[in-house]
């Protein structure tokens, strides 16, 4: 057997009977009009008078994701090994012994990545460095100083 929906005739509804009665069954003036009758506008009261509704319908509304650390250490700027030559031409310097020194931390770089091949033996100062970058620079005779 099919499920048959029984639909009530519109002419028999309470709202039709109360047309023209000024308050439509809501008592004195102003009842059931503003946000006060709803308990606030929008998501108001989720931590107060609508708490049970919040717990049932949106249990993860409050709090934070445990896997997303609030004070994580983000790497904002990074540089690859292949770009060290161009940075050295602009900002690098050689010390008295002939070592080529690049201070990437003072230039605003947070991390050195291992993309590309190093062309020269650099002494690089940087906060963070990847394993591949460190291996590549040390293999060619350079040095990585991480803070």
pTM: 0.51
3 state SS for 5-70:
CCCCCHHHCHHHHCCCCCCCCCCCCCCCCCHHHCCCCCCCCCCCCCHHHHHHHCCCCCCCCCCCCC
Q: What is the CATH number of domain 21-66?
A: 4.10.990
Asked if the domains at 21-66 and 78-146 fall in one CATH topology, the answer is: no
Two structure tokens written together for 41: 């506008």
pLDDT of 3: 66
**Is 133's pLDDT higher than 90?**
yes
With a cut of 60, say whether residue 79 has pLDDT above it: yes
Average pLDDT, the chain: 87
Locate the domains of the chain by residue range: 21-66, 78-146
Phi, psi for residue 35 in degrees, rounded to 5:
-70, -15
Provide, rounded to the nearest whole percent, the portion of the chain with pLDDT above 70: 96
Q: Is the pLDDT of residue 102 over 90?
A: no
CATH, domain 78-146, list 3.100.10.10, 3.40.50.720, 2.60.40.3680, 2.120.10.80: 3.100.10.10
pLDDT tens-digit readout, 13-63: 999 999 999 888 888 887 888 888 889 999 999 999 999 999 999 998 998
């Amino acid at each position: 057997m099919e499920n048959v929906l029984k639909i009530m005739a519109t002419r028999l509804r309470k709202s039709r009977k109360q047309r023209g009665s000024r308050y439509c069954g809501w008592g004195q003036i102003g009842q059931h009009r503003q946000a006060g009758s709803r308990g606030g506008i929008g998501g108001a009261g989720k931590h107060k008078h609508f708490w049970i509704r919040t717990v049932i319908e949106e249990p993860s509304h409050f709090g934070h994701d445990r896997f997303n650390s609030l004070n994580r250490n983000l790497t904002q700027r990074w540089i690859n090994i292949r770009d060290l030559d161009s940075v050295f031409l602009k900002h690098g310097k050689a010390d008295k012994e002939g070592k080529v020194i690049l201070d990437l931390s003072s230039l605003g770089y947070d991390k050195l990545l291992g993309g590309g091949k190093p062309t020269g033996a650099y002494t690089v100062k940087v906060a963070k460095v990847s394993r591949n970058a460190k291996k590549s620079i040390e293999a060619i005779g350079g040095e990585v100083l991480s803070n």
